[in-house]
Amino acid sequence: MKILVATEKPFAAEAVNGIREIVEAAGHELALLEKYTDKAQLLEAVADADALIVRSDKVTEEVVAAAKKLQVVVRAGAGYDNVDLKACSARGIVVENTPGQNSNAVAELAIGMMIYMSRNQFTSGTGCELSGKRLGIQGFGNIGQLIAKKAVALGMDVVIYTKEVKEKHQRWKATFSLEHLYSECDFISVNIPATPFTKGCVNYNLISKMPKGGCLVNTARKEVVCEDGLEKALSERPDLKYVTDIAPDRYAEFKERFGKQIFATPKKMGAETAEANINAGLAAAQQICDYFSVGCTKYQVNK
Ligand code: 3PG
């Protein structure tokens, strides 16, 4: 089988080597399309691929149509909002993700972002410490849980918001009200997927409830934060801050208007560590091999 790794933002070399080893040991062929700049390159590369590994690369209806032999797509990462599930399902293509494999990298970035914003984006001026502050975690999956543990180690008081408080979550302070979470927490970390239900859910009503000096941290997806609501909250409350790994559409304008109240990484870097690339990339390769060898679909997301 031909397994294509199509990554506009490439994996670390070590991860690619590991993927190749797994694929070739299972008797398959690896094709690589890295740092592509044009959709046409992806359309051409998928034409004879039986399987596809991507990161945030968009697997649209057009890509699916061009991939005549495609049987399985693995998004090496958590969020699969970049894959057109409907188009894949219509063709019987299995779509999987690799949950948890890059979570630690994202969790570390979220902590780093909190420190960065608390210390005036590493410029002069009096900052504040994380110790003793309250962190609200919206979305308590793999990433949220790791952030919580790291935050506790830093002396933070953690409150979680999650739709399902499982038994293993019992030790955490939890709230079932987002309004309550936002109004009680100095920092809020957003760790939810982008779905039709979550788009724009972090809105003015919530952001403006944050206490004085509150900081919203978004390492999830741009779409979950309502940009107009964010704009209104930041303009009414110069004490509020927003830090994100995925710049809002109007970031240049916001940066100009809100200065140090806002910071976005130039390119999404939550999962940009060698460890995360290796974990997610190798898991993706193994999942594809397992699918071809024994039909394993453990991580299928379009069932
Ligand atoms: C994910 O959903 O796994 C993260 O957002 C990482 O995305 P990336 O692979 O594009 O860095």
- Please say whether the beta carbons of 136 and 189 come within 8 A: yes
Ligand 1 in contact with 56 (CB < 6 A)?
yes
**Relative to the CA of 269, which ligand 1 atom is closest?**
11
Ligand 1 in contact with 279 (CB < 6 A)?
no
Using a 10 angstrom Cβ sphere, with 0-12 exposed, 13-18 middle and 19 or more buried, the burial of residue 206 is buried
Res 164: pLDDT: 74
Res 34: pLDDT: 98
Tell me the pTM. 0.96
Res 152: pLDDT: 98
Ligand 1 in contact with 277 (CB < 6 A)?
no
**Relative to the CA of 82, which ligand 1 atom is closest?**
2
Residue 232: other Cβ atoms inside 10 A: 15
For 116-164, how does the pLDDT look when each residue is reduced to its tens digit (9 = 90+)? 999 999 999 999 999 999 999 999 999 999 999 999 999 999 999 987 7
Ligand 1 in contact with 105 (CB < 6 A)?
no
Domains of the chain: 2-101+272-294 (3.40.50.720), 103-264 (3.40.50.720)
Ligand 1 centroid – CA 238 distance (Å): 31
Ligand 1 centroid – CA 302 distance (Å): 18
Fill in the amino acid letter for 105. Answer: A
Res 40: pLDDT: 98
Ligand 1 centroid – CA 70 distance (Å): 22
Q: Report, as ranges of residue numbers, the positions in the chain whose pLDDT lies below 70.
A: 165-166
